[in-house]
Amino acid sequence: MNIYIESRVLDIADYIIETGATVRAAAGVFGVSKSTVHKDVTERLRQINKGLAERVSAVLDINKEERHIRGGRATYLKYHSGDRAEGA
């Protein structure tokens, strides 16, 4: 595996563990696609450090369980933020 890729995988894994970030958030921070982050932390990380991969997986499992809450919150904010002409 390319040294650059291995370094990126470890950096992303550390970031997700430290911040509890989602795959989408990590992708934005590291300037790569969600698909790349997902492949990095599910496939490549297992080859590099299985223990670290399990810790990242635990964080991603929590994020997966909470995603309906984040989606609902985003919808709420979309329709309840700022001044709206209707209903005012």
74: pLDDT strictly greater than 50? yes
pTM over 0.85: no
pLDDT in tens, 15-53: 999 999 999 999 999 999 999 999 999 999 999 999 999
Contact 17, 7 (CB under 8 A): no
In this model, does residue 85 exceed pLDDT 70?
Answer: no
Query: What is the rounded average pLDDT for all residues in the chain?
Result: 89
Query: What residues have CB less than 8 Å from 69, skipping those under 6 apart?
Result: none
